[in-house]
Amino acid sequence: MTPKSFLGFAAVTAVITVAAGFSIAERYSTDVFVLSDKPMFSDLTVKVNDITEISVQDNEKTVRIQRKGDDWVLPERSDFPASNETVRKFLVKLAELRVREKKTADPKLHARLQVQDLKGKKDLSKRLVVKDKDGNLLVDTLIGRQNFDIAGTVDAGRYVRKMGDPQSWLTAGTFDMPDAINKWVKPEFMNVNAKRIETVTVRHPDGTHLTVERIDTKGTKFKALDVPAGRKLEYQIDIDNMSDGVDRIELEDMRKPGKINFPVGKTIKTTLRTYDGLVVEAELFATDKDEEFWARFKAHAADDAKDKKKIEEEAAKINKTATQWDYMIPAFKYRYMTRKMNDVLDQPKKAAK
């Protein structure tokens, strides 16, 4: 993101016209209702070209975004690229925040607005820090909850409180806080349309496996192969959605290969093959208590691919992104790619005594 591309931020100082209306009595404060065109962060727009770091802290983690050259990256994630457009929009919305109403300065009431100091797991505020190239603080504030008690306004506004100042404020402006890794990046890292999938094979560390095959090239239903005698499928949907594993799959987090240990005794190996010969191989495991679901991927063209050159090009494109990182993926995608035979079949009936 070049300095020129930041020039558009200057426009965020445009006047906000406030429609006539009255504030519903705020039950957490008796301060005077104030409408103002004063920016909440007055120094931000004039120094926006100097911004080089943004961090968002909640009660569990801190996400840090850093500017390197023309782009933004996540330094704690081996400089995984952030979305320049997401960063731009975030800074525009931040600069557009205007002072709407003076609220409580009583620390005992800060928690109700979610602008309390972050000290423990129960604190719901989010600390936002924005720095310039010299490390100077341009913004250091606690971002609280949205307000829905204002009549005659289009947007709800948010409560904020600058660090070290007990005074809290209600701001005007639509502003969301990206508080997770995947909200700062382009989350989709692979897209193999589910309609292309012909077969899915899942191999578990205990030696069991499940292979499903699409019944009709134009249909959505699959059949399970090698079903034990006397058993039958319990819910058709449980195998039909296995083709969705890498359809528009999005990351929740990422690490460079080697940073995450894939335990031999827990890692599941899954192969998805398309009708035209694209093969995607995945290795997946769930952490203890199923809190995180990690996967790594690679693709190649099958020997009997219909147009091998075309499929090799597609596989190379997938690998350019997929093999460079290990990904934490959504739970539902993990489940689609890790079904067990015993889980999708009805339970065998006990023999009568």
Residues β-bridged to residue 224: 212
Expressed as residue numbers, the domain containing 7 is 3-182
Q: Which of 182, 215, 234 is the last residue of a domain?
A: 182
In-domain check, residue 73: yes
In-domain check, residue 353: no
Q: What is the pLDDT at residue 136?
A: 93
Q: What is the pLDDT at residue 142?
A: 97
For residues 269 and 45, the model is more confident at: 269
Which ranges of 37-196 does DSSP label H, i.e. alpha helix? 84-96, 110-113
In-domain check, residue 350: no
For residues 104 and 6, the model is more confident at: 104
Select from 96, 102, 92 the least CA-distant residue to 35. 102
User: Is residue 45 very low, low, confident or very high in pLDDT (cuts 50, 70, 90)?
Assistant: confident
Q: Are residues 212 and 173 in the same domain?
A: no
Q: Are residues 30 and 110 in the same domain?
A: yes
Domain count, the chain: 2
Q: Are residues 323 and 205 in the same domain?
A: yes
Q: What is the pLDDT at residue 192?
A: 98
Q: Are residues 277 and 335 in the same domain?
A: yes
Q: Are residues 171 and 259 in the same domain?
A: no
Q: Using DSSP, state whether 214 is helix, strand or coil.
A: strand
Q: Are residues 7 and 80 in the same domain?
A: yes
Q: What is the pLDDT at residue 27?
A: 35
The stretch 257-262 carries a mean pLDDT of 97
Residues contacting residue 50 through CB under 8 Å, at least 6 positions apart: 132, 133, 134, 138
Q: Are residues 292 and 321 in the same domain?
A: yes
**CA torsion through residues 316, 321, 325, 327, sign:** negative
Length of the chain: 353
Q: Are residues 156 and 43 in the same domain?
A: yes
329 Cα distance to chain centroid: 10
Q: Are residues 259 and 143 in the same domain?
A: no
Q: Which of 136, 152, 182 is the last residue of a domain?
A: 182
Q: What is the pLDDT at residue 289?
A: 85
Q: What is the pLDDT at residue 131?
A: 96
229 Cα distance to chain centroid: 43
The stretch 223-247 carries a mean pLDDT of 96
Q: Which of 147, 166, 182 is the last residue of a domain?
A: 182
Least confidently predicted of 34-48, 148-162, 325-339: 148-162
Q: What is the pLDDT at residue 209?
A: 97
The stretch 233-238 carries a mean pLDDT of 96
Phi, psi (5° rounding) for residue 294? -110, 150
User: Is residue 352 very low, low, confident or very high in pLDDT (cuts 50, 70, 90)?
Assistant: low
CB 31 within 8 A of CB 25: no
**14-28: b (≥16 Cβ within 10 Å) or e:** eeeeeeeeebeebee
Q: Are residues 173 and 194 in the same domain?
A: no
For residues 24 and 11, the model is more confident at: 11
pLDDT digits (tens, 9 = 90+) for 121-170: 899 999 999 999 999 999 999 999 988 765 445 556 899 999 999 999 99
The stretch 29-38 carries a mean pLDDT of 53
Q: Are residues 60 and 44 in the same domain?
A: yes
Q: Are residues 159 and 194 in the same domain?
A: no
In-domain check, residue 332: yes
